[in-house]
Amino acid sequence: MPERPAKLPASLPALACQGLVVGYGDRVVLDRVSVEIPGGCWTAIVGPNGSGKSTLLRALAGLLVPRAGTVRLQGRRLGEWRRRERAQRLAWLAQTPGATDLTAREVVALGRFAHGGWLAHRDVDDDAAIDRAMRATGSSRWAGRRVSTLSGGERQRVHLARVLAVEAAVLLLDEPTAHLDPPHQEDVVRLLRAQAQGCGVAVLSAIHDLSLALTADRLIVLAEDGLVGQGTVREALRADWLSQAFRRRIDVVDHLGAWLWRPAVDGVPDA
Amino acid sequence: MNAARSTFVAAIIEGPAAERVPIVRWLGVCFAVTLLFTLGGLLVGTTSMATSIHWLFAPNAQSALVLWQIRLPRTIGAWCVGALLGLAGAVAQGVFRNPLAEPYLLGTASGAALGVTIALLASGASVGALAWAVQLGLTGAAVVGAAIAIVLTLALARGVLQTSNLLLSGIVVGFLLSAITSLLLLAKPELWRTLQVFLLGTTAFLGWRATALLAVVLLVCALPATLLSRGLDALTLGEDTARSLGLSLPVLRLALLGIVALATAAVVGEVGVVGFVGLVAPHLARETLSVNHRHLLVASPLCGGALLQAADLVSRWIVRPAELPVGAVTACVGGAYLAYLLWRRTRDA
């Protein structure tokens, strides 16, 4: 088992934000949003295009400076962490990771930067973490290939391995299942669940595919005008958050024990 | 427009999956080629090849002067210049994440030219005094001019936060300083020829002192650059991802741009503006060895050094006993090489 930072009291969320206001230019994308991401649990962010899923992830990762509000990692404000220590605990995956000419293994090894620092010297722990992450994502086969020569799905798995190699307490993933076919989507979902339940990691991912998102432990539901709600999937369905967020265009149905979405019977097309 | 540029950029870097050579063999070939060029640098000159070979085996006072005090420092100095440009080019392309970036993009060339012009105007030097002037006063003037250009570029871009602003500022400062140079030259048109020697670059005045200085600058630049190579690797994943990995981009950029600035200022001060080596050497290193910056930051200077030695030889050989400006040779060879890369890419596409 990978080494983890000491367990936190269950009451303290691994990552939380309070009254977060984020915008670009005149546009305010997130207006006083407060969410909590508990450890040991996979949380999915869902919402229509433009509702600020990626923006929320980037703000939580400390990549955007909020106009107001605070983000706390393990109870401490993001700004109070030393850069390197923060990067050891908080890993982020971009929506479209770059097509670099480095080899797959070189890219995954960069996930260990926060642990090793400037000197490219890697110790045994680093190599073990890299191997584990590549095996878990099934990307070991391409270890020596240039990432730019891989297919979109293969590339996605290499970058996922890079994020896992950090062995962080909080994973922020922007559309980790994008570019993947259904079996591989299922692999990623299983991986995220294993990280959450097996290793106690707080996993937060924006997921476009609603049926996939409904297999998560918790949901954060965003709409164009702000946060609709956050809670377990059951709570979300009982309170009808999804239907609100998608302007009554969808229904969620129980099909043989799995939640599936379908177009609402009486849905009115957007103008 | 951005998309078009990145397609072009991709066309230049990627190429068909070139067979990469194991690093030991690569270094072996590189050293052999460099030694060969160094020997060539000793043999080629105003004397005939036979005389030069004879000198090598039967030394006398004249041969000692020509071979060891003129030709050897010159060819080693040329290697140092090429290595500095290769290093600065690889670092610049990494920092700007753009394979078309080159060492002079901070405006150093125009700044140095302006410095030289002002020095020439002040001293009233003529073409005949050039040899003396390049050795002493002009070097300092060029370095000061290059440094001022860098400071102006950084000030205009308000620091190193936005690479696109930095690139634009470099262009603006370059044009501005060139315009001032042209205006100043209107007052004394006869200085044009002197300045032209400088603008085309020349290795003819490299002695042991200049070569030693270049070698020291090379060491001072190369050591920290290789230490920062992991940061450059991380940057290839995108700026946000690099930040999320725990990198401080402003600190990294400042350090790396400092290296580019120091290397180019030293080069421009000693030999003038030698183009294309800084652009081509990193491509040559990537094509033949690796894109990993730990390798690239060693391979690119080695390629640049060999390239400039070769260009220096050609510039001395073609119109013997006269010489071509080495910068003109590098521009021809470098331009042809980039055209070849592009042609090979478009043929395969």
Of B227, B245, B286, the CB nearest to A110: B245
Q: How many CB atoms lie within 10 A of CB B187?
A: 8
Structure tokens at B32: 């052999």
pLDDT at residue B15 in the model: 37
Distance CA A221, CA A241 (A): 7
Distances (CA, A) of B234 to A44, A112, A161, B209, B241: 28, 11, 15, 38, 8
Give the per-residue pLDDT at A228: 93
Whose tokens are 């546009």? That residue is A27
Q: Per the CB < 8 Å rule, is B234 touching A87? A: no
Look at B228 and A146 and tell me if their CB atoms are within 8 Å: no
B227 min Cα distance to partner chain A (Å): 6
User: Could you tell me if residue B272 is left (phi over 0), alpha (psi between -120 and 50 degrees) or otherwise beta?
Assistant: left
Per-residue model confidence (pLDDT) at position B1? 36
First to last CA, chain A: 53
3-state secondary structure of B147: helix
Q: What is the rounded distance in angstroms from the CA atom of residue B203 to the CA atom of residue B233?
A: 34
- Mean pLDDT of all residues in A173-194: 90
What pLDDT, on a 0 to 100 scale, did the predictor assign at position B16?
35
Whether the per-residue pLDDT at A172 is higher than 90: the answer is yes
pLDDT of A271: 56
| Preferred mutation among A106, A119, A147 to probe B, highest tally of B CBs within 10 A | A106
Q: Which of B234, B238, B246 sits opposite A84 (nearest CB)?
A: B246
Average pLDDT over residues A227-235: 92
Give me the residues of A, 73-92, that contact B with CB < 8 A: 83-84, 86-88, 90-92
CA distance A245 to chain B (A): 29
A256: pLDDT confidence band, cut at 50, 70 and 90?
A: confident
- Region of B246 (left: φ > 0; alpha: ψ -120 to 50; beta: rest) is left
Picking from B292, B290, B97, the residue whose alpha carbon sits closest to that of residue A106 is B292
Question: Shortest CB distance from B244 goes to which of A91, A102, A103?
Answer: A91
Q: What's the order of all strands across the beta sheet hosting A41-46?
A: A90-93, A170-174, A202-206, A41-46, A218-223, A226-232
Mutate to test the interface with B, among A73, A82, A83, A95 (most CBs of B within 10 A): A83
Within its chain, how far is the Cα of B58 from the centroid? 36
Residue of A nearest to B292 (CA): A102
Q: Where are the alpha helices (DSSP H) in chain B?
A: 2-13, 23-43, 49-57, 61-63, 72-95, 108-123, 130-133, 139-156, 163-187, 192-200, 208-227, 229-235, 239-244, 249-271, 277-288, 293-317, 326-348
Residue from B6, B97, B239, B241 whose CB has the most chain A CBs within 10 Å, to mutate: B241
pLDDT at B160: 73
Q: What is the mean pLDDT of chain A?
A: 88
Structural tokens at position A212: 């996939």
- CA dist A9 and A31 (Å) reads 29
Q: Provide the terminal-to-terminal Cα distance of chain B, rounded to the nearest Å.
A: 20
Is A174 exposed, middle or buried, given 0-12, 13-18 or 19+ CB atoms closer than 10 A?
Answer: buried
B229 touches chain A (CB under 8 A): yes
| Per-residue pLDDT reduced to its tens digit, A82-128 | 999 999 999 999 988 777 889 999 999 999 998 876 665 567 788 89
- Taking only the tens place, the pLDDT of each residue in B228-273 is 999 999 999 988 999 999 999 989 998 998 899 889 988 988 888 8
**Chain A CB contacts of B233 below 8 Å:** 102, 106, 110
d(CA A136, CA A238): 35
Residues of A in contact with B234 (CB under 8 A): 110, 113
Cβ–Cβ gap A98/B238 under 8 Å: yes
Share of chain A above pLDDT 70, in %: 92
Q: What is the pTM of this model?
A: 0.86
Taking CB atoms and an 8 Å limit, are B246 and A86 in contact across chains?
yes
pLDDT at A61: 95
Cβ under 8 Å to B: A residues 91-110:
91-92, 94, 97-98, 100-103, 106-107, 110
**Residue A164 — pLDDT band, cuts 50, 70, 90?**
very high
Residues of chain B whose pLDDT is less than 50? 1-19
Contact state of A114 with B246 under an 8 Å Cβ cutoff: yes
User: What is the mean pLDDT of the segment spanning A66-85?
Assistant: 93
ipTM of the complex: 0.89
| B231/A148 Cβ within 8 A | no
Size of interface A-B (CB pairs under 8 A): 72
Task: State the smallest CA–CA distance between residue A173 and chain B in angstroms.
Answer: 12
Confidence bin at A130 (pLDDT 50/70/90): very high
- DSSP letters, B201-252, are ---TT--HHHHHHHHHHHHHHHHHHHHTHHHHHHHTT-HHHHHHTT--HHHH
Q: Which of A87, A106, A146 sits opposite B233 (nearest CB)?
A: A106
Cβ contact, residue pair B233, A110, below 8 Å: yes
How far apart are alpha carbons B176 and B40 in whole angstroms?
Answer: 41
For chain A, the residue count is: 271
Q: A227 phi and psi, to 5 degrees? A: -70, 125
How far is residue B313's CA from residue B331's CA, in Å, rounded to a whole number?
15
Structure tokens at B266: 């030293």
pLDDT-derived band of residue A204, with 50, 70 and 90 as boundaries?
very high
**CA distance linking residue A42 with residue A207, whole number of Å:** 12
Quick check: B255 contacting A, CB < 8 Å? no
Residues in B touching A149 (Cβ below 8 Å):
17
